[in-house]
Amino acid sequence: MNNLDWLDAVKWDEKGLVPAIAQDYRSGRILMMAWMNKESLQLTAHENRAIYYSRSRQQLWRKGESSGHIQKLHELRLDCDNDVIVLQVEQIGGIACHTGRESCFYKVYNDGQWVETDPVLKDPSTIY
């Protein structure tokens, strides 16, 4: 068995991507969802930090490369269908979302509308 067989166990979509969910390793809170390709997943495991694939830029995206909000990897998990990755991470700086919030999941459904519940921790214009 070669040392890259673990990558072949993943069920990549037709574009060679897999959804990846970043979860705070301490609290369990979902921080964000992004996409990974084989190279980004391999580099994530090798560098022990979250590296995603940006579909809009068509290139690798090292989380925190411009903001400083790096995601330090603690554990990689693959779901039972082999088609979703969960990264258990330590979110350096406490901000995962480009809006300056802890999590990208800050809107809560309430009585027919989405309500923003989490505060902006840092003005995005000062981050990027």
Banded model confidence at residue 4, pLDDT cuts 50, 70, 90: confident
What is the distance between the alpha carbons of residues 13 and 37, in angstroms, rounded to a whole number? Answer: 9
The answer to whether residue 118 scores a pLDDT higher than 90 is yes
Radius of gyration of the CA atoms of the chain, in A: 15
Query: Rounded to whole angstroms, how far apart are CA atoms 37 and 75?
Result: 18
Domain 14-127 in CATH 3.10.20.810? The answer is yes
Contact 38, 12 (CB under 8 A): yes
Tokens of 124: 């995005």
The pLDDT tens digits for 67-108 are: 999 999 999 999 999 999 999 999 999 999 999 999 999 999
Sequence spans of domains, the chain: 14-127
Tokens 């390709």: give the residue. Answer: 37
